[in-house]
Chain A
Amino acid sequence: MNTLDLNHHISKRFNKDLEDLRNSVLAMGGLVETQLAKAIDAVVSGNSELGLRVAHDDYKVNSFEVSIDEECSRILATRGPTASDLRLIIAIVKTITDLERIGDEAEKIGFLASKLANMDRPAGSYSELRTMGNLVRAMLKASMDAFARLDGSAALEVVKDDEEVDRNYEMIQRQCITFMMEDPRTIQRVMNVTWAARSLERIGDHAKNIGEYVIYMVHGKDVRHTAVEDVDLDLIGR
């Protein structure tokens, strides 16, 4: 099952480079996970300060992306990796792009949180965003875990979970439309909620992408733009 083995190189140095690279991708993932958690927390608890802090801290995610990117090009240039090593590097380059985008979306949610904190709070105090947020957080966590464990089947679960997030997004949208029709004075606030939900939905998509890169990395199969059911059959057939 585990076709990737990072300890097979004669050059110890190369092994260590790859291991460190993987480690820093996961550290970046950890940072993004925390950013997302804080952003959701800021929206739900109406904590304007926390939201702004999340927005401010996005530079950390960006600098992670830049340094990992540099390291990847260095390895590509000096080691000329092949086969599974090459797949690993390619998957990492793509993964950090998605992680960086997730960071951007978290930044947006942080801004929205600080805006929403200064407006009237509805009775439910954004519990629908919390539910969707937790779903997305779990997805992101599962995708990073799958990346750490090189676990293709866990990655596939992440890909499947995206449908649930999409359904949630649709539900929130419909709810928001109802609110706006009932009372046009809430439009400004509800628009912000829609934006936050939209960001969460995008994060779900990015987490799904990471899941797909993990499958590519482990099995060497590109499962993008494939119906989930077909992917299933492919994996079982192996």
Chain B
Amino acid sequence: MPNSFRNALLSSGFVLLVGLAIGAYFGFAVYGLLIAMSGLFFLQLGRVLRLEKTLHSGRRVAVPDGDGVWARVLAGIHRQQVRVRKHKGRYRRLMKEVRQSSNSLPDAIVVLNLDHEIQRFNKAAERIVGLQKRRDRDQRIDNLLRHPDFVAFLRDGKFDVPIIIPSPKGEDCWISVQLVNSGQDSRLLILRDVTERTRLSRMRRDFVANASHELRTPLTVISGYLEAMEADSMLRDEWGKPLDEMHTQSQRMRRMLDELLALSQLEANTQASMEQTVDLATVVRDAVAMLETAHTVSIDLDDNLFLLGEYPDITSVVTNLMSNAMRYSAAGTMISVSWSMTSDGGALCVCDEGEGIAEDDIPRLTERFFRVNRGRGRDTGGVGLGLAIVKHALARHDATLSVESELGVGSKFQCHFPMERIVSSPVAVAEASGGASSHF
């Protein structure tokens, strides 16, 4: 038992004894005891009331001197109060730092709950998307960022790929939008101003398009003279070989410029229209007939499977994939082309038994002018843009290209088209893209 507690007991007992003694002296022992008890009671009650008042007002309690029970209790409360106040200060400073650093971020951060209602956002969010402090709390974010792509992005819930939409603040500004789960019931929306990046990539695209366009004119002049010189029999005798070489090279250059131009056009407009049905089986048959080859070509085509898209793009996908297969496999080997339905769309598949591609090179195949083996392909007439064109043409049709290959065994190029673009008959297409379903 602590000292203070015994002291308190002893002093209370002493007071009661004194009361009893005085009462006995006057002949009323019980009353004396009662008066002493109620005195003690009111004394303690007064102290409790004072303590309650202090705690209620939020002031710090004053600790009396000495070592009584009350002194210890009050000292304990005082210690607690000091500790709480210290922690509070620390948390407040921490919160302030967090808020300051989030406000100094260049990207807009918006905290959303699972219903996409705005909870908090930083300064950049006011600047980039024009959110208003206080007013926009609990507002659904898609009420203010209304671009259809963003609305679809939220609805579909595929948050792993960021999207790029025009900024609501004005024309020709672009923002990239990313959504990450940040906790059990909240998500972080990260918005970044990508105007500069978009502008740069457009400038690059325009530059490539303009340059290839401009280079074609001098090239036409050169090949014109070359043709005239080739027709001259006297010159032919003396310069035959160089002239032939110049002729093939200038043709190669023209092809390269044409493909660069085609590529930049593919990049410029994003979505292929869905108004036309492409009869892919016929496209493949035509390509087989056109590309004369020493290979055995086996085809397995579903004639009742049509694609919503654009003919020129699909034709160039098919011819590029097939001429690649022919270029990189030995004469006489088998090339198989198939067009069929899969569980999640349509698949166009071109397989060869050629030399194959090393695994490390596969991801880089669709880069412009990338060559697995420097020098290879150039002698076979390749320009180096074929797969880049395939990739962009497919992207316009929401399709993807996957490549499997084993060195020395062969390669398999597969194009996956999404279900929305697959139809089983070439008619009644206009409304197939309708999507006039209810929006609720």
Residues of A within 8 A of B (CB): 19-20, 22-24, 26-31, 33-34, 37, 49, 53, 56, 59-60, 63-64, 67-68, 70-71, 134, 137, 141, 144-145, 148-149, 151
Contact = CB atoms under 8 A, between A and B. Distances in A.
B135 A149 contact: yes
A26 B151 CA distance: 10
A148 B139 CA distance: 8
B100 to A, nearest CB: 27
**Nearest 3 CB-CB pairings of A with B:** A30-B146, A148-B143, A63-B436
Given A37-B171, A53-B273, A149-B139, A27 B436 contact: no
Nearest to B140: A23
B136 A149 contact: yes
Given A63-B436, A141-B168, 4 more contacts: A24-B440, A27-B151, A67-B439, A67-B440
Given A59-B434, A71-B440, A30 B148 contact: yes
30 contacts: A22-B143, A23-B143, A24-B439, A24-B440, A26-B143, A27-B148, A28-B439, A29-B146, A30-B147, A30-B148, A30-B150, A31-B146, A31-B148, A33-B147, A53-B273, A59-B436, A60-B435, A63-B435, A63-B437, A63-B439, A64-B439, A67-B438, A68-B439, A70-B438, A137-B171, A144-B146, A145-B144, A148-B139, A149-B135, A149-B144
Given A34-B147, A59-B434, A59-B436, A23 B142 contact: yes
Contacts of B147: 30, 33-34
B110 to A, nearest CB: 15
A74 to B, nearest CB: 9
Contacts, number: 66
Contacts of A29: 146
Interface in B96-144: 132, 135-136, 139-140, 142-144
Contacts of B144: 145, 148-149
B384 interface: no
A19 B138 CA distance: 12
Nearest to B436: A63
Nearest to B117: A19
B269 interface: yes
A24 B439 CA distance: 7
B377 interface: no
Contacts of A20: 440
Nearest to A138: B170
B48 to A, nearest CB: 44
Number of chain B interface residues as a range: 20 to 34
B166 interface: yes
Interface centre among B147, B150, B166, B171 (most CB of A within 10 A): B171
Contacts of B140: 19, 23
Interface string B365-390: 00000000000000000000000000
Interface in B136-182: 136, 139-140, 142-148, 150-151, 166, 168, 171
Contacts of A26: 142-143, 146
A145 B143 CA distance: 8
B143 A34 contact: no
B343 to A, nearest CB: 29
Contacts of A151: 135
A144 B139 CA distance: 13
A68 B440 CA distance: 8
Most buried by B among A29, A59, A70: A59
A49 B140 CA distance: 34
Contacts of B275: 56
Nearest to A52: B273
A149 B435 contact: no
B134 to A, nearest CB: 11
A120 B387 CA distance: 37
Of B146, B150, B269, B436, the most chain A CB neighbours within 10 A belong to B146
Given A24-B440, A145-B144, A134 B139 contact: no
A44 B435 CA distance: 30
Contacts of B435: 60, 63
Contacts of A33: 146-147
B269 A134 contact: no
B284 to A, nearest CB: 27
A37 B166 contact: yes
Nearest to B152: A27
A63 B144 CA distance: 22
Nearest to B274: A56
A22 B143 CA distance: 8
Interface string B193-232: 0000000000000000000000000000000000000000
Interface string B266-288: 00010001010000000000000
Contacts of B146: 26-27, 29-31, 33, 144
A34 B439 CA distance: 18
Contacts of B132: 149
B114 to A, nearest CB: 14
A68 B147 CA distance: 18
Contacts of B151: 27, 30
Contacts of A34: 147-148
A200 to B, nearest CB: 15
